[in-house]
Chains A and B, each alone.
Chain A
Amino acid sequence: MDLRLTPSEEQFRDELRAWLQQNVPPPWRGGVAAEEENQGYIQYLRDWQRQVYEGGWAGISWPKEYGGRGASLIEQAIYQEEMARAQAPPLLNLIGLSIIGPTIISHGTEEQKKRYLVKILSGEEIWCQGFSEPNAGSDVAALETRAVRDGDYFLVNGQKIWTSYAHIADWSFLLVRTDPNVPKHKGLTALLVDMKSPGITVRPLKQMTGEAGFNEIFFSNVRVPVANVFGQINEGWRMAIAILMNERANVGTGIYIAIKRELDALIARARQTLRLSCPASQDPVVRQKLAQAYMELEIFRLNTNRALSRMSKEGHPGPEGSILKLCYSEQQQRMQQTAMEALGAYAQLRDFDAGRWGYGYLRSRGATIAAGTSEILRNILAERVLGLPKSY
């Protein structure tokens, strides 16, 4: 074990730090609460991502030939920390960058890699992921959206739900049923679907926060070329597992960047906000909770780094990798509750800090549901890591 950076890692860090110092844009001043539906904010993030890409700082561990930097997972970890340190804005094409891109790299054809990866990095094409359906939540394999072969095309009919970014996405990584007569895991196919295809309707779903963060997508006779099959026909479940693993291991998503920014802002706020006649940051009880939030986030960072170290040697994350999603989603919820307590009566005001605390508080409730509920993740840990018998 050696946590020192190697000379080349150090050089990477210094270059990145210098670049960030020059290029991080002034913070977004509009409301962040509405971020998922705010066009101005989305444009701001798109511009930022293009800038990152052009500076050569997108896709740190992706191969060079597809626009990445060809660096190691360790550099990917350094990247996260530096981005957080510089208070850089988050990256918009999160699903493309953290989930779909890595899956295309590991399982896609050469052609697919060439076609899609660069535009994911540049933010030119935003991606979303179409797995969940009204009757296929934790039990994803029960999905019913049908794709019927018609010559060189599949005709897709059905509905997806809880699809983040669908309203701005150019492409969707879609899971459909191509063979209804075999056991549920065996009749699925993964398709890369152009969201501008005729027959696709996106309907925003209003979240409890009041914003439309996710969507329903309806498919009515949507034609998808067979060339857009990802992996093999009827082997979609394997692709889905690859996607879910990337999603949960959450390596390189920038989730740390987002949470760290939130925590830094909270601590700064706590120093200024009076509650019970003294700054929140001086209240012994609030201090305990802020320290706890800091500690939990730091442990998430360390768990991530351990997983990356393991992955860079063994190609897959160890047990610490499987707990990352549980770790950050629950940390976030506790941290947002701490924010509510620390900021006292102010926290509830919609106009206080552009409503970010109320929004963050409510939004965090989704964290333990999206990308695998905490319950499903605990089952997976129990069965796959600890070797307990299957429970369902």
Chain B
Amino acid sequence: MDFDLSKAQKLLQESARTFLMRECPAERVRELMETETAYDEQLWRAMAEQGWTGLIIPEEYGGLGLGLVELAVVAEEMGRACLPSPFISTVWATALIDSAGSEGQKAQYLEKISAGEMKATVALLESTADWNVQAVQLSAQREGKEYRLSGRKEFVTDAQIADLIICVARSGSELVLLPIQRDAQGMTITATPGIDATRKLYAVDFDGVRVPVAEALQLHPQTEEAFEQATRVATATLCAEMLGGMQWTLETTVEYAKTRQQFGRPIGTYQAVQHQCADMLLMTESARSAVYYAAWTVSEETKEARQAVSIAKAYCSDAAREVGNRGIQLHGGIGFTWEHNLHLYYKRAKGSEIMFGDANYHREQLARLVVDESEG
């Protein structure tokens, strides 16, 4: 057992950090978030060249075939840079295609994703705002060799720039995963601006959108389990990104506490400030343990994966927010300005807290695993 990054993993971390510092400094984040989609085609291509878009895609489909720990390493650096990109959305879709798609579908989509030629996202939530896949009601009416999709999806990340939207729908009582190209007839995408301007949210309306039955990602009868596995991959990746944001906030705040003077000495001399910095460290390091453990268990598909992901998401959801709270507090007025970069991370933390279910949701998922007798 070795619970520390390997040499190769540390190298990956370093190169990701250098790349993002160069390609996506804070000024670029600010420019991008003011645009309609917060998307930079050139940056995405460059990320693909780094191999990131195909990081977990098997080599046979043009990917690097690495595991989730490596994915987490890169995602952490993205969080540290507050990188605006459809990366998490695409990871979610990638994992879904990987776990539920046929060989043909994998070849069709994953190669393009690896090459940076396709961005994708998943449309799950409906007006019930429920992250449980069992709650999906959007109707996919079977008509001969086609499904006809009608209904509305909410909170779909990066829908506007996704080349492929995988819609989670219900045909009768059966869960179906339908990949839809962006130019599909009858699909309307509406921006629903959120607190985190670096990751855009959309409502997607389907008005009789036709999808050939053969194109559905099939894995009967385990579609639900395949969906959950893919969502675990995406959730663990998101948690790693949250961790990167916490690390940035911690370092930035500690630096400020060392330099900002009041009453004739650095504010970091005062215990009221020190103790909050110590708490930020405690939360960040604890999140790190939880995140990398989750990434590893999901990657290895161990039986602890479900609880490890819920632990990571519940912990990170609370901790990322709280680290942000303390970061703003210790900066004082300057921390509350638009000019300081803290708010970019703070808002990202809030959006991420909500994405894939907040701490309350994941604590309940965990309780089902460890409190209820059947599982205990």
Contact = CB atoms under 8 A, between A and B. Distances in A.
A378 B278 contact: yes
Which of B254, B278, B366 has the most CB atoms of chain A within a 10 A radius of its CB? Answer: B278
A4 B300 contact: yes
Interface in B95-144: none
Nearest to A74: B1
B2 interface: yes
Interface residues of A, number: 53
A306 to B, nearest CB: 5
B: contact size bracket = 35 or more
A298 B311 contact: yes
Contact of A281 (B278, B290, B311, B371): B371
Interface in B59-101: 69
A383 B1 CA distance: 31
A302 B290 contact: yes
Nearest to A294: B370
Contact of A391 (B274, B286, B293, B300): B274
Interface stretch (A110-118, A129-137, A318-326): A318-326
A14 to B, nearest CB: 15
B285 A390 contact: no
Interface stretch (B179-187, B200-208, B261-269, B349-357): B261-269
Interface in B273-326: 273-275, 277-279, 281-282, 285-286, 288-290, 292-293, 296-297, 300, 307, 310-311, 314-315
A310 B4 contact: yes
A303 B269 contact: no
A271 B266 CA distance: 52
Contacts of A387: 254, 258
Contact of A388 (B254, B311, B363): B254
B373 interface: yes
B357 to A, nearest CB: 13
B69 A323 contact: no
B363 A382 contact: no
A145 interface: no
B265 A267 contact: no
Contact of B288 (A320, A389, A390): A320
Closest 3 CB pairs of A and B: A382-B274, A302-B289, A378-B278
29 contacts: A1-B2, A1-B296, A2-B296, A3-B297, A78-B1, A267-B370, A271-B373, A271-B376, A294-B371, A302-B289, A305-B1, A306-B288, A309-B4, A320-B288, A323-B286, A327-B286, A377-B278, A378-B275, A382-B268, A383-B274, A386-B254, A386-B281, A388-B266, A388-B269, A389-B268, A390-B269, A391-B270, A391-B271, A391-B274
Interface of A: 1-6, 9, 74, 77-78, 267-268, 270-271, 281, 284, 287-288, 290-292, 294-295, 298-299, 302-303, 305-306, 308-310, 313, 319-320, 323, 326-327, 375, 377-379, 381-383, 385-392
